A and B are shown apart, each in its own frame.
Chain A
């Protein structure tokens, strides 16, 4: 039996055959997406363990009696607004309007810093009222433990995002940032907002 040897140009093209990008994105963007998926699973683990403990507990405090909901709502509005400013920055960067991109990335970073300030004061208030990782005045110990764990991890992500956006702002000011770079930073920032979209209703409202 004989088989014809095909030249590379004659061989059928397959996305998974190598040589082309199966996802159609740059490796930097793909790695950011993969990182976000793994990071999302970290938060999914938190939320599922929270649901487990909450279901198993005999009682659970009413969140609106513990948390200042007006402040939490304001923090949520700030984070959503920062997502809109980030999307605008990415759009501007893709249009090569680097000045507008820099302004909106800076506004996003300021939004993130305001959110963090709100979270710091929220932690300080609850700690002053007796909340600890192992106990709290409102009921089952896991209540405060989950509060500190989930908002702490999320807040750390916001802090990293603010630092990242600060770097992007400086790079845009120096004319070194690209639309692609701003977009990848934007993916991270929107992810932070998506995580809050889960934490806010599941932990504070329901």
Chain B
């Protein structure tokens, strides 16, 4: 679906993306508790990915069938991979200690 977004929107989002990257760097360097650091960085990462996908890749203007195929197709498969493998990684970590 063709949809023309204003140039200004793209460059406002560019500022947002840069700020999110700065937030990530500052959070990592601040020496906050590990859980807070991981949470903030993962949240910023998610917002960046959604911003690029929705506005720069115009996914928000596409049909729901395409959005679900792309987003669910990717994240359901990657999520299944993660939850199948990670428990074994944690078990190996416990055994090594």
Q: Which residues of A contact B (CB under 8 A)?
A: 15, 22-25, 30, 33, 36-37, 40-41, 44-45, 47-49, 51-58, 64, 69, 73, 76-77, 80-81, 83-84, 86-88, 91, 94-95, 179, 183, 186-187, 190-191, 193-194, 197-198, 200-202, 205-206
A76/B93 contact (C-beta < 8 A), A87-B10, A201-B42 known: no
Q: B97 to chain A: which residues have CB within 8 Å?
A: 58
B43-80 toward A: CB 8 Å interface, digit per residue (1/0)?
01100110011011110001101100110011001100
Interchain CA distance A186-B2 in the complex, whole Å? 14
Pairwise interchain contact B1-A24, C-beta atoms closer than 8 A: yes
Known interface pairs A33-B66, A55-B93, A64-B28; A198-B4 also in contact (CB < 8 Å)? no
Q: Is B10 a contact of A88 with CB atoms below 8 Å? A: yes
Determine if A44 and B4 form an interchain contact, defined as CB atoms under 8 angstroms apart: no
Given contacts A30-B66, A45-B81, 9 further A-B contacts (CB under 8 A): A23-B69, A25-B63, A37-B70, A40-B74, A52-B89, A55-B90, A58-B96, A88-B10, A91-B4
Query: Nearest B residue to A83 by beta-carbon distance?
Result: B56
Contact of B85 with A22 in the complex, beta carbons under 8 Å: no
**Can you show 11 pairs from A to B with CB atoms below 8 A apart?**
A22-B65, A24-B63, A25-B62, A40-B74, A55-B90, A56-B92, A56-B93, A56-B96, A64-B29, A197-B49, A206-B37
Give the interface size class of chain B.
Answer: 35 or more
Q: Which residues of B contact A80 (CB under 8 A)?
A: 14, 17-18, 21
| Known A58-B96, A84-B14, A91-B10; contact A48-B78, beta-carbon cutoff 8 A | yes
B74 and A197 contact, CB distance less than 8 A: no
Cross-chain contact B63 with A23 (CB below 8 angstroms) = yes
Question: How far apart are the CA atoms of A80 and B18 in the complex, in Å?
Answer: 7
Once the chains are docked, how many angstroms separate the CA of A201 from the CA of B47? 13
- From A76, which residue of chain B is reached at the shortest CB distance? B21
CB-CB under 8 A from A88, the residues of chain B are: 7, 10-11
* Known A190-B52, A194-B52: A48·B81 in contact at CB below 8 Å: yes
Knowing A48-B78, A53-B89, A80-B21 are in contact, say whether A23-B66 is a contact too (CB < 8 A).
yes
A80-B7 Cα distance, complex, nearest whole Å = 15
Closest chain B residue to A16, Cβ basis: B65
Among A24, A187, A200, the residue within 8 A (CB) of B57 is A187
Complex Cα gap A155–B62 (Å): 29
B38 on the A face (CB < 8 A): yes
Nearest neighbor of B2 in chain A, beta-carbon distance: A94
Contact, CB under 8 Å: B65 / A15: yes
A33: B residues at CB distance < 8 A = 66, 69-70
